[in-house]
A and B are shown apart, each in its own frame.
Chain A
Amino acid sequence: MSVIEIKNLYKIYDGSEVEVRAVNGINLNIEEGEFTAIVGPSGSGKTTFLNLVGGLDKPTDGKVFVDGIDVWSLKSRKLIDFRLHNIGFVFQSYNLIPVLTAKENVEFIMQLQGWSRKDRIKRTGDLLKAVGLADRMDSRPAKLSGGQQQRVAVARALASKPKFVLADEPTANLDSKSTENLLDIMEKLNQEEKITFIFSTHDARVIKKARRVITIEDGRILKDETK
């Protein structure tokens, strides 16, 4: 079953001199439980594509359906709510809330969703354990390494039980050991909990782990390979 259906998606920036087609007519289906890498050189449109799918950037044309819901037909307030309940985000530069501890960062999103305190505490513990940070729960981001911060970000992305996780170059700022570690965790969660992961990357190690690799260039799909 398709979690995400993308139909004739365009994002065109009208510059004063040149028109930039960041996403230029993409059609794509992502099935539940996929572990998909969007690859391509810098400026190929990977991040823009993820932003369109994640409901952060409005497409010039085309439609994005998540579980049959036309994402861009939603009004601004509903769209934020939709993101909160359906999409998990992992950013290149972690983007944790610096004044909250690892535990609070993960809990925060569940609080936005209105979870009970008891359930929040249990799930936070489970998730931080799953990403190997059970002993760093009370540390603030500044006290964690880049790899640890990104693992907290993964736990946060999963906290809301999203339909899929969008990860924009999640390993770009990590060393090889942290990258390996993070990929193992994401792969394990994907296999054991059937969580759909879509990540943009040009990191060969990530591409190697992905079971589906979609290559984008100049805003178009160049290749779509399933291993």
Chain B
Amino acid sequence: MLFSISWRNVWRNKLRSAVIIIAIALGICAGVFSSAFYKGMADQRIDKAIKTEISHIQVHRPKFRQANDISQFIPEADELAARIGEIPEVSGVSSRIIIFSMASSAETASGVKISGVMPGEESKVTNLHTKLIEGNYFEEERRNPIIVGWKLAEKLNVKMGSKIVLTLQDIDNNIVAGAFRIIGIFNTANGIYDESNVFVKHEDLRRLMELPDHSAHELAILVEDNELIRETQEKIQTLTGNLEVLSWTELSPEMNYLNEAMDLFMYIFIIIILFALLFGIINTMLMVVLERIKEIGMLMAIGMNRLRVFMMIVLESIFLSLTGGVIGVLMGGGISIYFETNRIDLSMWGEVYQDLGYDPYVYTSLEFSLLVNVTILVIITGIIASLYPAYKALKNDPADALRIE
């Protein structure tokens, strides 16, 4: 009956309860939606980094990544790639030649990362071929084709069909240069990436750098499912012996931190909202207790012990908070689910987002655990908010309370 009394007490002053319930609902709704929004943004950033840039797992010679030393190549990379490709969890393997160099047009020059890729294999690992805004993905049988980002093209003042010269170091430390013709321009919606990456054919770059046949600096691997990355990494390590096999969290720890930081940020944000709401709930519960001093005195007089009086106030506060919390979670959850499949258009500020590597079209990402945790936090807030009012109620002397007219 204690539950029943507390629940019905919530609705004794409908207007007052409604005001605080709406405040809680709106606060929680905003918290849940914001969390889903930022989580979606972070997930998209990570997903894009994996699918466009990093892939799930990469294999290198141990010293290659320290200084991008081009002499640290994997000699029989093609054969190794074929063996890795036989692992059931692997959905694609691409062998890449990597070098940081200079790309020059007739007007200017810019530092770039050149990736020599096998187009057929690369398209199984990254989605660059879907990001072309002009031209094609190495479909033309031309000598020295190159694909560049739109931002680099803008910087070098080049367009489709223009020639650019890549100046680089070969395996014997000689400076060599090659003229490449632009056959495609991509836009990954990551400004920094689009300004600093170019793609050429594996054999063109290998020939220019005079690397041995079948060699590569990097094997990029895509796995069927995120959950299988650790297991697949171990299998690849067994195959590759002394080579360095790293997952995306190790290759790009900042992405992993982004993921963790976003989770933490979401909860801090929600706790700040709940902290602000806490005072509203305390205020309401104090009014409730002060209004019912006589009634609480009567209950204690007829034999309701202090624990039950305490529980009655706590339950009322929990019901009040939880009603608002559940409405807020449902509203926030509903809005977030809608925007999981309907993008939020931030293209008005697109350049700013792209420069930071974020997509200007955001899809929210809602985790069920967030809803559960928010509901638990709301209950905790309700309990905390009830403590002082409940203490005031317990300080009540039944005889004094019953004298109140």
Give the interface of A toward B (CB within 8 A): 47, 51, 54, 56-57, 77, 80-81, 83-85, 89, 91, 95, 97-100, 104, 107-109, 111-113, 156, 160
Stretch of B1-9, B75-83, B152-160 on the interface side? B1-9
**CA of A81 to CA of B302, assembled, Å:** 9
Q: What does the 1/0 interface line of B276-315 toward A look like (CB < 8 Å)? A: 0000000000000000001100111111111010000000
Q: CB within 8 A of A97: which of B5, B301, B308? A: B5
> Nearest chain B CB to A83's CB is how many angstroms away?
5
For B303, the closest partner residue in chain A by CB is: A84
Q: How far is the CA of A80 from the CA of B309 in the complex (A)?
A: 12
Question: What residues on A are CB-neighbors of B295 within 8 Å?
Answer: 95, 97-98
Contacts of A113 in B (CB 8 A): 303
15 additional A-B residue pairs with CB within 8 Å, beyond A80-B305, A156-B302? A51-B402, A80-B306, A84-B304, A84-B305, A89-B298, A89-B301, A91-B298, A91-B402, A95-B402, A97-B295, A98-B12, A100-B1, A100-B4, A109-B302, A111-B1
Q: How far is the CA of A99 from the CA of B303 in the complex (A)?
A: 18
- Known A89-B302, A91-B298, A111-B1; contact A56-B12, beta-carbon cutoff 8 A: no
A–B complex contacts, Cβ < 8 Å, 10 sampled: A56-B301, A80-B306, A81-B303, A89-B301, A91-B402, A98-B295, A100-B1, A100-B4, A156-B302, A160-B303
Is the CB of B350 closer than 8 A to any CB of chain A? no
* B1 adjacent to A104 (CB under 8 Å): yes
**Distance between B128 CB and nearest chain A CB, rounded to angstroms:** 66
B7 to chain A, nearest CB (A): 9
Question: A77 vs B399: C-alpha distance in the bound complex, in angstroms?
Answer: 16
Query: What separation, in Å, do the CA atoms of A99 and B298 have in the docked complex?
Result: 14
Any A CB within 8 A of the CB of B398: yes
| Alpha-carbon gap, A98 to B294, bound state (A) | 12
Given contacts A51-B399, A57-B399, A108-B1, contact A97 B299 (CB under 8 A): yes
**What residue in chain B is nearest A99 (Cβ atoms)?**
B8
Query: Nearest CB to that of B9 among chain A residues?
Result: A99
Which of B4, B298, B300, B306 has its CB near the most chain A CB atoms (within 10 A)?
B298
A95–B301 CA distance with the chains assembled, in angstroms: 11
Please, which residues of chain B bring their CB within 8 A of the CB of A51? 399, 402
By a CB distance below 8 angstroms, the chain B residues around A83 are 301-303
Query: For residue A98, which residues in chain B have a CB less than 8 angstroms away from its CB?
Result: 12, 295
Task: Give min CB distance, A68 to chain B, whole Å.
Answer: 20
Chain B: interface residue count, which band?
Answer: 20 to 34
**Chain A residues touching B, majority SS:** helix
Q: What residues of A have a CB within 8 angstroms of the CB of B402 in the complex?
A: 51, 56, 91, 95
Query: A108 to B5, alpha carbons, bound, how many Å?
Result: 10
Max chain B Cβ within 10 angstroms of own Cβ: one of A47, A57, A80, A84: A80
B12 contacts across to A, CB distance below 8 A: 98-99
- Whole-angstrom distance from the CB of A219 to the nearest CB of chain B? 16
Closest approach, in angstroms, between the C-beta of A149 and any C-beta of chain B? 13
B5 contact from A54, A89, A99, A160, Cβ within 8 A? A99
Contacts of A109 in B (CB 8 A): 302-303
Closest residue on chain A to residue B405 by CB atoms: A93
Residue pair A56, B398 in contact (C-beta under 8 Å):
yes
Question: Are A100 and B5 neighbours in the complex by a CB distance under 8 Å?
Answer: yes
In whole angstroms, how far apart are the Cα atoms of A16 and B196 in the complex? 87
Q: What residue in chain A is nearest B404 (Cβ atoms)?
A: A93
Q: Say whether, besides A56-B399, A56-B402, A95-B298, A107 and B1 are in contact (CB < 8 Å).
A: yes
Chain A contacts for B9, CB-based, 8 A: 99
Q: Which of A104, A109, A112 has the most C-beta atoms of chain B within 10 angstroms of its own C-beta?
A: A112
Q: Which residues of A contact B294 (CB under 8 A)?
A: 95
Closest B residue, CB atoms, query A54:
B301
For residue A156, which residues in chain B have a CB less than 8 angstroms away from its CB? 302
B399 touches A112 (CB 8 A): no
* Contact residues, B325-361 vs A (CB, 8 A): none
CB < 8 Å: which of B1, B305, B403 contacts A81? B305
A-chain residues with CB within 8 Å of residue B304 when the two chains form the complex: 80, 84, 112
Contacting residues, chain A, for B303 (C-beta < 8 A): 80-81, 83-85, 109, 112-113, 160
Q: Which chain B residue lies CB-closest to A111?
A: B1
Nearest-CB distance from B368 to chain A (Å)?
35
Q: What is the CA–CA distance of A112 and B303 in the complex, to the nearest angstrom? A: 8
The 9 closest A-B pairs by CB, nearest first: A84-B303, A99-B8, A56-B399, A95-B298, A57-B399, A51-B399, A83-B303, A80-B305, A56-B398
